[in-house]
Amino acid sequence: MLDTNVEGVEQTVSTGRLPARGSVDAVVAEAYERNRGSSDGAVADYIPVLAEVDPELFGICVAEVDGAVHDAGDSTVEFSIQSISKAFVYALVCEEFGHAEVGERVGVNNTGLAFNSVVAIELNDGHPMNPMVNAGAIATTALMPGTTSAEKWEHIRTGLSAFAGRNLELDGVVYRSEAETNQRNQAIARLLQSYGRITEDPLEIVDIYTRQCALRVSAHDLAVMGATLADGGVNPVTRERVVSAEVCRDTLAVLATNGLYERSGEWLFEIGLPGKSGVAGGIVTIAPGKGAIGTFSPRLDRAGNSVRGQRATAYLSRTLGLNIFASSSAGNANNEEQP
Ligand code: GLN
């Protein structure tokens, strides 16, 4: 890891606010209207049961750090969280083990390859690279506290439920469908075992990982979960502290570089915020100190990211002023006419 020599230096935080309530409601409604007619992309079918979803479903939710929530469309329809679970399980593991150890064991750098790449593991001498690709997520799940699989699973389920502020449940149909067809993830876990990267039973870890991916959430839940990461680890609706502010900061940095797989650079370029997508069609996007966006629309691009979700999020980021790289001049230019 990079030695930055800032350990022990106090973290100063500086963020802005979202626009007034009424205008956020209007912007969320407009993000929905602008994109509802699009049918670009295709529903995931490599997990057989996901292909049966209604592709027209479309929901958006923005949750603010003061607990205000703005919904549009099918924002309370539930779907499987899939890869978005990786972000929250990572946060829970960071809470247990801390910045340095997880950074070292799982890594934080982008692979530039697909989420389920085996080549990426081989190219990096068995290092999983980052927790948002399957290899890193499986390694992260293995680190979850608990001496038995049942204990690890319960820790994950209750942890993600605390982020959502309600009891999340397993979608048994999605879990079984993926468990019957996830030979590739089993191979990834075996490969990590062969490199000494996981010491637990690889098939049991993949089973827990498959369960965490099959937890049912809505776009509304994703917005609240994301807003917890935006609020220094406190759920703004239940007011429960779930993880520390340091863990939120670290998790969001990893999402910014890896959350949209090999498209993470394009995502940051267009949207300018940390986000995480899943193959069932969910995306969570976090504006640190302000709030979060949850979207659900099942049709995906080739990298496995929801098409309407990306477009709606881009619109919201732009109109709500969320892009973390955007600035306007303080007005001191001496080569421009003053108004
Ligand atoms: N459960 C899926 C898998 O491991 C999650 C992938 C995703 O959402 N991109 O293949």
Q: Three-state SS string across 27-70, please?
A: HHHHHHHHHCCCCCCEECCCCHHHHHCCCCCCEEEEEECCCCEE
Distance CA 193, CA 202 (A): 7
Q: Measured between alpha carbons, how far is residue 215 from residues 139, 159, 251 in Å?
A: 19, 12, 20
Is 92 strand, coil or helix?
Answer: helix
Atom of ligand 1 nearest to the CA of 280: 8
Report pLDDT for 149: 96
Report pLDDT for 236: 98
Q: Where are the domains of the chain?
A: 21-82+214-324, 85-213
Atom of ligand 1 nearest to the CA of 116: 10
- Ligand 1 pocket mutation, candidates 170, 209, 213, criterion most atoms within 8 A of CB: 213
Burial class (CB in 10 A: 0-12, 13-18, 19+), 321: middle
CATH class for the region spanning 85-213: alpha beta
* Residues in the chain, pLDDT under 70: 338-339
DSSP designation for 127: -
Maximum separation of any 2 CA atoms in the chain, in Å: 68
CA of 81 to the centre of ligand 1 (A): 9
Report pLDDT for 339: 61
Q: Measured between alpha carbons, how far is residue 96 from residues 9, 84, 127, 195, 215 in Å?
A: 21, 20, 21, 24, 22
- Ligand 1 pocket mutation, candidates 186, 279, 283, 302, criterion most atoms within 8 A of CB: 279
Atom of ligand 1 nearest to the CA of 115: 9
Angle between helical axes of 202-213 and 84-97 (0-180°, round to 10)? 120
**What are the tokens at 149?**
């699989």
Distance CA 230, CA 249 (A): 9
Burial class (CB in 10 A: 0-12, 13-18, 19+), 15: exposed
Question: Is the sign of the CA dihedral 282, 277, 54, 37 positive or negative?
Answer: positive
Report pLDDT for 112: 86
- Ligand 1 pocket mutation, candidates 178, 180, 305, criterion most atoms within 8 A of CB: 178
Residue nearest atom 2 of ligand 1, based on CA coordinates: 82
Residue type, 235: N
Residue type, 141: T
185 lines ligand 1 (CB under 6 A): yes
Q: Measured between alpha carbons, how far is residue 191 from residues 113, 145, 327 in Å?
A: 17, 22, 45
Residues annotated as part of the active site: 83, 86, 209, 261, 279
- Do the two domains 21-82+214-324 and 85-213 of this chain adopt the same fold? yes
Residue 41: closest CA among 336, 328, 297, 331: 297
What is the fold, at CATH topology level, of the domain defined by 21-82+214-324? Beta-lactamase (3.40.710)
Is 110 strand, coil or helix?
Answer: coil
Report pLDDT for 338: 64
